[in-house]
Amino acid sequence: MVDLDRALVDIRSIRRQVAQTTEFRGYGPATLFATAVLAVLAGVVQAYWVPEPAAHPAQYVALWITTAVVCAGLIATQMLTRANRLHSEMADEMIRMAVAQFLPAAAAGAILPFVLLHVSPAVFWMLPGLWQIIFSLGVFASCRCLPRMMILVGEWFLLAGLACIALGDNRSLAPLAMAGVYAIPMAGVAVIHLYEYRKAATDEA
């Protein structure tokens, strides 16, 4: 029995090693583009519904958390179907790895607004900048299994986050700071993924 259990552990270990050296194709270009559109819509909603976010921080957080949850739901749903189709035997391992790489950043991003709202409301204006920095760390953590150009996306979010913090006041809560900063690179990410998948499909043919 010990030998058989050891053999199963060895097979799982090979599978994990293969997953670590395989480019993850679970992120669908169309879904990524849809999240960029959703971010623009959320920016428009903010301009009308929360014109003064510093005065209504809870509404601002509710709007952007809702947008993030909808985007995450869309990405997760497509990830499950795409990964099963494109990675077949490796799908479970690759999804587990993709989630594990991004989850710490997602968890930090989810907790942060509640800390700022309830503990440090004076520095609430830092939220968009910190969200972008945290998102950049999630992208950097996922880069190993994504197309190489994704590192540029991580750098964009890091620089945008630092720029937001450098503003030093409530200007960082403007709709453009979230909608524009997210939508522009995500549309680019959709194009990168589409290009890489087509290239991979041509290579495999």
Partner 1 sequence: MKPERSREEAPFAYQGLDRVIHERARLSVLTSLVTHPSGLTFVELKGLCALTDGNLARHLQVLEEETMVRLTKEDDAGRMLTTARITASGRKRYLEYLTVLEQVVRDAASLSREVEDSSGELSPALP
Q: Which residues of 23-42 are buried (b: 16+ CB within 10 A; e: fewer)?
A: ebbbbbbebbbbbbebbbeb
Least separation in angstroms between residue 8's CB and partner 1 is 5
State in angstroms the smallest separation of the CB of 204 from partner 1: 4
Q: Which is nearer to partner 1, 2 or 119 (CB)?
A: 2
| 21 is a contact residue toward partner 1 (CB under 8 A) | yes
89 interacts with partner 1 by CB under 8 A: yes
Nearest 5 degrees, angle CA 74-CA 80-CA 85? 125
Q: Any contact of residue 111 with partner 1 (CB under 8 A)?
A: no
- The piece of 29-37, 85-93, 136-144, 187-195 that touches partner 1 (CB under 8 A) is 85-93
Q: Which is nearer to partner 1, 11 or 76 (CB)?
A: 11
CB of 97 to partner 1, least distance (A): 15
Q: How far is the CB of 203 from partner 1 (least distance, A)?
A: 7
Does 8 bind partner 1 (CB under 8 A)? Our answer is yes
CB of 147 to partner 1, least distance (A): 14
Least distance in angstroms from the C-beta of 26 to partner 1:
16
Phi and psi at 119, nearest 5°, equal -110, -45
Please say which residue, 88 or 166, places its beta carbon nearer to partner 1: 88
Which window, 51-59, 82-90, 98-106, 121-129, contacts partner 1 (CB under 8 A)? Answer: 82-90
CA distance 172 to 177: 6
How many residues lie near partner 1 (CB under 8 A)?
A: 17
Residue with tokens 């559109």: 37
Q: State the residues that interact with partner 1 by CB under 8 A.
A: 1, 4-5, 7-8, 11, 14-15, 17-18, 21-22, 88-90, 203-204
